[in-house]
Structure 1
Amino acid sequence: MTQDELKQAVARAAVDYIHPKLDSDSIVGVGTGSTANYFIDYLAEIKGSFDGTVASSEASAERLKSHGIPVYDLNAIDNMVVYVDGADETNPALELIKGGGAALTREKIVAAVADEFVCIADGSKWVDTLGAFPLPVEVIPMARSHVARELVKLGGDPVYREGVVTDNGNVILDVHNMAITNSKQMEKDINQIVGVVTNGLFAARAADVLLIGRESGVETVTA
């Protein structure tokens, strides 16, 4: 199977996984990226089974709306039954690196609200130690150089992602060459740097369930 076929398989599996959990009042959180896009397309097939969605990016919101799926502001909802999103890396504890698509802050907010966080990924995203994929950090623009210096002190090699502005109007530093052995502490340490909005480590709020696409089929992994 190609990587795209694996992404499609886990996206389909995610719809099958969440469908029994939904009712007419349910709100589904929807992430951002290529795998999430497949999920949105398949979710449209059961759009009569739930009330609507909250999207983690403007791009996902537009794709949902194009399918006739209602999209709500997060402030307008009281409860979210599930959040489904991809990842750039996942370890066996289901701690993640996210943010390759620059939507990490909104993704982290939506994940914090959801009762259950379902991660969908192809097998290439599975690692023993996070950090081979550069860790995205969303930064207030005026603090970019200061934050970069502080990230160097933490052992990383930050690179400004040129030409990228987040949906929140901020910039991204991608931190290379970090083997992240204590994900929760690293997430906390980076977030404490003045000028950081948040970073792409999802360790304090890791995934609850991982649907991972492999050549042998889609595996369900729980932490």
Structure 2
Amino acid sequence: MTSAADRRHAGHHPRRPLRVAPAWVGAAGTDHRADVLPVREAVWIWSVRRFARNALWALPVAAVAYGWTTFGDVSRPEQFYAVLAAAWLSLVAMVAIAALLAGTRTRRPAVAGLLLGFLGTIMLLPLMALPPDTALAGGTVPADRIGPLGVTAAMVAGSGWLLLGWAVLRSKLLNPADGILLMIAAVSVGAGTFAVDPLPTVGALLLLAAGMGLAWTGGRLIPSA
């Protein structure tokens, strides 16, 4: 038999939802095995993947900005602002690709490509802001070494994109064709402004195609939150 208190409780709240706040996500059990994940970790992973999916759209926008700079003089103010926008968006896209591949077997080349991309961009942007035949402050780098140093910085950035393209190709998570396009576009990125036209423009188009493919495929990996 049920008590009067139990009957009153059941009668007053017949449709009240039951709220469950589990401490672990994974297989049921009392022991904390390797396949059991804390809820806070699951939420953090979900947030990182959602950021990565959204940030992948920075890559096609960066490709458009980079392509626009190939049609004019970089020394003009609006062209230089486009270069800055393309560089910043490219770094955001690199972080997104590395974050999306963090749980795959190609996470190491993805992280290596991210670090090389940051290094090349940090080296290249200050050199592009220097007027022609100008040495760095303090005489650390002579004026005749600025050009080779810029080529080296562009090659380092291109190597970062090459590793990221290889990571996409071998990850079995994203479309392998986008990885191939990214690797081909890395050649023009590595050539930078020193390449012969129309190689930079073709590279920007390839980067745009790879960015659209990655953003579309990455957005369909998991349901929208």
Shorter-normalised TM-score: what interval? under 0.3
Q: Output the TM-score relative to the length of structure 2.
A: 0.22
Q: Output the TM-score relative to the length of structure 1.
A: 0.22
For the pair shown, the structure with the greater C-alpha radius of gyration is: 2
Report the structure, 1 or 2, having the larger strand content: 1
Report the structure, 1 or 2, having the larger helix content: 2
